[in-house]
């Protein structure tokens, strides 16, 4: 049996909840085609690194990164009660 660390379990939960937020609650046009591919947590669960992919060129990737940056506060407030 494979044992997973708590950080792995929390990162999977964050990925699921964040994907749901992107589909239903975040209406930023820069993030419409973004897909959350991976979430990596630090061992102390204080930092999460979120990886995403988007279809298009480097300009769309930069715009999506800015979209995530501007939605950071909303994402944090929405994730906290669900975790």
Work out the pLDDT band at 83, boundaries 50, 70, 90: confident
Interval 19-65: pLDDT, tens:
999 999 999 999 988 999 999 999 999 999 999 999 888 899 999 99
Is 71 in contact with 28 (CB distance < 8 Å)?
yes
pLDDT of residue 3: 67
Is pLDDT above 80 for 2?
Answer: no
């Amino acid at each position: 049996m494979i044992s997973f660390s708590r950080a792995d379990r929390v990162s999977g939960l964050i990925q699921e909840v964040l994907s749901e937020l992107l589909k239903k609650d975040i209406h930023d046009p820069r993030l419409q085609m973004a897909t959350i591919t991976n979430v990596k947590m630090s061992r102390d669960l204080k930092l999460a690194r979120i990886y995403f992919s988007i279809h298009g060129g480097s300009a769309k990737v930069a715009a999506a990164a800015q979209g995530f940056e501007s939605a950071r506060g909303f994402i944090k407030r929405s994730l906290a009660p669900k975790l």
